[in-house]
Amino acid sequence: MWINRNKIVVQYSPHSDYEGEKNGNKAVRKVAGEQEDERSPPECTLEKSVKELMELIFNRQRFRITISVLKYDAIKLPLGKLSDTTITRGFQQLKDLAALIDDLAVASSKWNMGFAEATEHLSNTYYSFIPHRFGRKQPPIIRDDILLKKEIELLQSLSDMRVAAELMKIGRKTRDSIHPLDRQFQGLGLEEMTRLDDKSSEFGHIMRYLSNSGGAAQKMTYTIKDIFRIERQGERKRFDNSEFSKIPSNRRLLWHGSRATNLAGILSQGLRIAPPEAPVSGYMFGK
């Protein structure tokens, strides 16, 4: 109604854009009375629990929140344009900063500066590689392990999130032929993802193992929703051919806590060790 003329709501779906298509085209066609394609969108073929997991790890709103929390400037350098080389350069700057924090004498011996000047120089160089959003505040100088650890977490998250961002792209050809969640699941390249029956012995073993695990650093309790058996393509063969398959023990479980936004990268590429450029500081069990 005319009285509501100032209350126009614009809705945008991240799944709706074709490359190069103007957002207004659809509205123009509607006004012109042109017939639209009314075909039903493809149905998701994933099992319910797998579908829910895909909705969790490919949630665009969660990505926006995570990027905001980590203070990364995705407008200046979008995830799709972030390269491994840039992330490696960021890690190298953090490694140099870690060396400074561990030994103040490095400032003069390596950089020919005082500690404050050297940390400011390296911090600014780091921010030039990895853009941040601090609003009107000055970018903080990385002079202690707390800030250093936050930036290590950021680079690790960016490495995994850029993989998910690539999988979330919708191509013109696949848009109408396959549900986005099916396509994203296929992009993970998994041999198997099976939800365990919560009454199975395998589920019970893992649940007890989780309950009995943890040290002084983990004072938390967990509620288990689902447990999945996962195998990546070629992973079993690689493991059987490795020296680790000869270890005379069947206990090889490793707990790895991570943000939901990192899981697509982990599932598609596996758990990766930190690069040589990454500082040792900030890792509970080293690199």
Same domain, 67 and 154: yes
Give the pLDDT score at 275: 75
User: Is residue 91 situated within a structural domain?
Assistant: yes
**CATH label of the domain that carries residue 76:** 1.20.142.10
Q: How far apart are the first and last CA of the chain?
A: 62
How many CA atoms are closer than 13 Å to the CA of 174, on its beta-carbon side? 15
100 and 107 in contact (C-beta within 8 Å)?
yes
Task: Phi first, then psi: give them for residue 31, nearest 5 degrees.
Answer: -65, -40
Same domain, 113 and 123: yes
Give the pLDDT score at 202: 93
Same domain, 187 and 266: yes
Same domain, 76 and 109: yes
> Of 130, 148, 165, which residue constitutes the final position of a domain?
165
Q: How many domains does the chain have?
A: 2
User: Is residue 155 situated within a structural domain?
Assistant: yes
CB count, 10 Å around CB of 69? 11
Same domain, 120 and 48: no
Ranges under pLDDT 70 in the chain: 1-39, 170-176, 214-219, 250-252, 281-287
User: Is residue 26 situated within a structural domain?
Assistant: no
Same domain, 161 and 202: no
Find the domain containing 69 and state its range.
Answer: 60-165
Same domain, 140 and 267: no
Same domain, 135 and 175: no
Give the pLDDT score at 34: 41
Same domain, 209 and 264: yes
User: Is residue 247 situated within a structural domain?
Assistant: no
User: Is residue 278 situated within a structural domain?
Assistant: no
Closest among 185, 143, 162, 140 to 87, alpha carbons compared: 162
Give the integer Cα–Cα distance in Å for 281 and 165: 28
User: Is residue 28 situated within a structural domain?
Assistant: no
**Residue 243, helix vs strand vs coil:** helix
Q: Which residues, in sequence order, are CB contacts of 76 under 8 Å at separation 6+?
A: 131
> Of 127, 148, 165, which residue constitutes the final position of a domain?
165
> Of 149, 165, 181, which residue constitutes the final position of a domain?
165
Length of the chain counted residue by residue = 287
Same domain, 87 and 111: yes
76 and 67 in contact (C-beta within 8 Å)?
no
Same domain, 99 and 225: no
Same domain, 173 and 54: yes
State the DSSP string of 57-115: HT-HHHHHHHHHHTTB-TTTS-GGG--HHHHHHHHHHHHHHHHHHH-TTHHHHHHSS-H
Give the pLDDT score at 272: 76
Which two three-digit tokens encode residue 156?
Answer: 């690790």
Give the pLDDT score at 5: 39
